[in-house]
Chain A
Amino acid sequence: MSTVYSPSLPEDVAETPVSQPTSLRALLRTYPRVAVASGLLILLVLVSVLAPWIALHDPTATDASNALLGPSAAHPLGTDELGRDLFARVIWGSRVSLPIAFVAVAVGLTVGGAIGLTAGYRGGLWDLLLMRVIDAILAFPALILAIAIVAVLGPGLRNAMIAIGIVQLPVYARLMRAQVLSLKGLDFVAAARALGASPMRLIARHILPNLLNPLIVQISLSAAAAMLAEATLSFLGLGAQPPTPDWGFMMNTGAQFLNNDPWLALGPGLAISIAVFAFNWLGDALRDALDPRLRG
C-alpha cells in the first residue's frame, strides 16, 4: 500500500461481478451514488463561480466597530474580528481553495505522469534513478514534506501548490509507469514501434485510454487530499496570506477567537469538510463503478 497523503480508503467489495457500464447514462443509472456525488461537486463549483452574486457583502470590507458579532439577519454567519461578513468570506473562500486543489493535482499529474512515463518507457538506468527519486519523496510523510518545502520557498499559495503538487507526484508516477510496463511487452506495441510510431501516438492511442478509469478516480481522491493539505498548511500559517479569504487561514483566526465567537471557526471548518467530502465521495463512488470487478 503506497503512502499517499490522502488516507486512501480501501475499495468496496462487489456483491456479484458486474460488467462495465457502456455509457455515462448507464453509469449514472447503475450507480446513483456517482450522480449524487457529482451533483454535490457541481453545486460547489457553482457556488464558487457565482460567489459575487451569492455573497451579498464584500469579503474584504472591514467594519472595525462591528467586529465579532454573532449571526443576524444582516450577517448570516456574523462578522469576523475586523467586522467583515463571515458568510461572504466563506463563500469567496471557495474561489481560493477549489482552484488550488485542481492546480496542485494538475502539477502532480503532469510531472508525475511524465516521470512515470519516462521511467517505464526508457527503462534501465532512467527507471532506476527516477524511481529512487520517487522513493525519496515517499520517504517523508506527505504533510511533513509539504511543510518543509513551503518553509523553504516561503509561505504563499503559489508555493503551497508547488509543495502539494510535489507530494502528489509519486501516485501518478507509479500509475503511469505500471501501465507503460504492462503494455511494453505486448506484441502490437512492439510492432507499432517497429513501424515507426512516435511515442506520443502510443501514449495517446494506447496508454492513456487504459488509464482513464483509474486516473479519474485518483484525480478525485487527489483533489480531496490537496484541499485538505492546503487547508492544513494555511491553518499553520504557511499557505494563503492575508487578506485573501482562505478557509484554512480563517480557521487559524477562528481558533484564536474560539472563546469570543465560535462561528469564525465553524463557518470555514464546515466549508472545508463539505468540499473535501464531496471529492472523496465522488472518487469512492467512481472507484466502485469503474474498476473492473471480481475480487476474492
Chain B
Amino acid sequence: MKRPALALILGAFLLSAACSTGGGTTSVAGTPKVGGTLKIALESELRTLDPLKSSQRVERQVYYNMYDSLVTIDASLKIKPGLATSWQYTDPTTLQFTLHKGVKFHDGTDFNADAVKFNIDRILSAASSPRKSELASVKSVEVKDSSTVVFHLKKPDAALLAQLVDRAGMILSPAAIVKGGADFALNPIGAGTGPFTFVEWKRDDHLTLKKNPNYWVPGRPYLDQLIYRPITDSNAALAALRTGDIDIAGTNAIADKDIASVKSDASLVYKDTPGLSFEGFEVNSGSGIFADKAKRQAVALALDRAQILKNVFFDLHTLSRGPIPPTSWAFDPSERIYTTADVSKAKSMATGFAFNLKTPNTPGSIQEATLIKDQLSKAGITATIQVEEFGQILTEASSHKFDAALVGWSGRIDPDGNMFGWFHTGGGFNDGQYSNPQVDTLLEQARVASDQATRKPLYDRAQQILVEDVAYVFIGHGPAQEIASAKVHNFSLIADSIDRFAEVWKG
C-alpha cells in the first residue's frame, strides 16, 4: 500500500525475513520471493497508454501498475492516500492536497505540485477527452508550494476524490510527455511513478513493464517484469493458463462456463468478490412502447432473474436490487419488488405487447437475450431480438432509437458514478430518457454532501424510486475475479477489478 511509514516497516520486516536463514515465524502467506516474470492475459488490446485519451476499461489494468494516482482505494473501497499523503476541504469548493515528498518519475524528474498542476491542466484544456466530464467540477489548480496543491471547484463534488483514484488523478512526468511528443501515447517512456516502468509495446502481441528500482515504496515491487498479452478468446485464455503461457487472467477473461473447471484444477486459484458493475437492459422511458410504466413493470415482474443468473452466468453473479452493488457503502439490502418472477402479476400490469431488444453480438449476450425472450413469452410479452454490434447499439441508444438494449455498466467506485449519469434527467448515459424530479433532487443533493452519513439515505431513497419506476431492468452484478496459477501469491482482490501487482510475488 501507499503509506510510506507502514510500507517501510513491512518492507524491512519481510526483507529481513527473506534474508534470515531458515526458521522464524514470518507472515502467514509465506516468504515473498523477489524476482520473476508474471504473464498476464488482457481481455482485449489497448488503444493508448495515455490516460488523457483512454476510453477503454482494459487500459486501466496496465496504467495502475505504471502510473500512480493522487489517491487509491482499499478492499472496502475507502479512499486512501496515494501520491497525496493527506487532503482536506478548506471549504466546500476548495480541496487541498499534501503531496508525498521524495518521489521521482521513471525518467528521474521530480514529482511535485507543478507536475500535478500540469496534468490536471492538461485534462481541463484538452479539446476532447473522456477525463473532462470526470473533472467537470474542477475550475482550476493552484500550486501553493512544491508539495501542496489546491483544487478550486466550481461547486461541491463528493465524487471527485473517487474520480482521482482512476485515470483523471494519474500524474505523469511533464518532461516525458513533452519529450514523447505525438507518439507519447504509444511510447510513454519514463512517464510514471509506479512500481513498474514501461519497456516496450508490440501491438496485438505483448506489452512489457519492468521493475522500478527506485519505487517510492521500499522493497516493492517483488516481480522483475510484467508481460501483458491480449487474448480475446476465453477458450484460448483458459488453455494458456493451463499450459503456463499465462500466470493470471483478469476479470471476465475466462468465460463463466469454464470457472468450474478452473476451481477443480489444483494448479489454479480462483477467488471472486462482487464487483462494481450492474447488468440488465436499459429501457426507453422517453418514447415508444416503454413510455408506458405499466409495460416496464410487466417486463420487470415477468423476468426470472435467478434462472438467468444460473444458466447464463453459472451463479457467479449476484442478484441485483438496483444500480448499487453489495460491495458499496451505499448498498441498500432492502427487498425490492422485482427480485423474483411473478408472471400473473406481470400479466395484470400489461400483456400482449412486443418490443425490440437490441443485443450485442457476443455469445453470452445472445444466450441471455434468448432466455429473456423465452421467459417474457410466458407472460404474453414478445421480445424481438436484434443482434447488432456493440458500437451500433451505443449509437442508436444515445440517439434514443430503441425500445430496450442489453447494455450494462462497468461501475464506478463512488455511488454517484453508478447513478447520476444514468438516471439524472439529461445524464450522459441516460439513453432511456428517464426523468423523475424527485430522483434528480436526491442525486444532486447526494453529490454535494460531503459525508457518507448524509449521502446514504439520499441514495437509498433514489434507488427505491428509480427501481420502482423501472428506469432500468436490473438483473445482476458481476464479480471481480482472480483467476491465476497457484504460483501467484499475495494478490489482493478489489471490487474495481484492477489487478495491482506491487505486492504480488511469484514462487
Contacts and interface: CB of A to CB of B under 8 A. Distances in A.
Nearest to B387: A241
Contact of A241 (B238, B308, B385): B385
B315 interface: no
A257 B385 CA distance: 22
B385 A259 contact: no
A59 to B, nearest CB: 12
Interface stretch (A36-44, A61-69, A134-142, A286-294): A61-69
Contacts of A256: 235, 255, 363
B191 to A, nearest CB: 38
B449 to A, nearest CB: 43
B370 A242 contact: yes
Contact of B310 (A65, A237, A242, A253): A65
Interface in B244-281: 255, 257-258, 261
Nearest to A64: B311
Given A62-B370, A242-B369, A259-B261, A252 B387 contact: no
B103 interface: no
Given A64-B310, A259-B238, A252 B374 contact: no
Interface string A221-260: 0000000000000000100011100000000110111111
B448 interface: no
B307 to A, nearest CB: 5
A62 B374 contact: yes
A81 interface: yes
A243 B366 CA distance: 9
Interface string A41-62: 0000000000000000000011
Interface string B292-308: 00000000000000011
Nearest to A257: B257
A192 interface: no
B235 A243 contact: no
Contact of B385 (A81, A82, A83, A242): A242
Contacts of B261: 259
Interface SS of A by simple majority: loop
Contacts of B370: 62, 82, 242-243
B235 A65 contact: no
Interface residues of A, number: 22
B114 to A, nearest CB: 50
Interface string A78-91: 00011100000000
A296 B255 CA distance: 59
Nearest to A240: B387
A252 B367 CA distance: 12
B243 to A, nearest CB: 14
A65 B312 CA distance: 11
A198 B440 CA distance: 76
Interface string B353-384: 00000000101001101110110000000000
A99 interface: no
A52 B235 CA distance: 35
A257 B234 CA distance: 10
B258 A65 contact: no
Contacts of A258: 235
A67 B315 CA distance: 14
A55 B385 CA distance: 24
Nearest to A62: B374
Given A65-B307, A65-B310, A82-B371, A243 B255 contact: no
Contact of B366 (A64, A242, A257): A242
Interface string A131-165: 00000000000000000000000010000000000
A265 to B, nearest CB: 12
B235 A259 contact: yes
A82 B374 CA distance: 10
Contacts of A253: 363, 367
A260 B258 contact: yes
Contacts of A155: 361, 387
B311 A67 contact: yes
**Residue with the highest number of chain A CB atoms closer than 10 Å, among B311, B369, B373:** B311
B117 to A, nearest CB: 47
Interface string B432-455: 000000000000000000000000
Nearest to A151: B389
Interface string B147-191: 000000000000000000000000000000000000000000000
Interface string B327-366: 0000000000000000000000000000000000101001
Contacts of A68: 257
B57 to A, nearest CB: 22
Interface in A143-191: 155
A97 B261 CA distance: 35
Interface string A20-45: 00000000000000000000000000
B367 A81 contact: yes
A61 B363 CA distance: 18
A153 to B, nearest CB: 13
A112 to B, nearest CB: 31
A82 B311 contact: yes
Nearest to B257: A260
**Residue with the highest number of chain B CB atoms closer than 10 Å, among A64, A68, A155:** A64
A64 B371 contact: yes
Nearest to B368: A82
16 contacts: A61-B374, A64-B307, A64-B308, A65-B307, A81-B257, A81-B311, A82-B370, A83-B311, A237-B387, A241-B385, A241-B386, A242-B370, A243-B385, A255-B235, A256-B235, A256-B255
Given A64-B310, A257-B257, 6 more contacts: A64-B307, A82-B374, A155-B387, A242-B370, A243-B370, A252-B363
Interface of B: 235, 238, 255, 257-258, 261, 307-308, 310-311, 361, 363, 366-367, 369-371, 373-374, 385-387
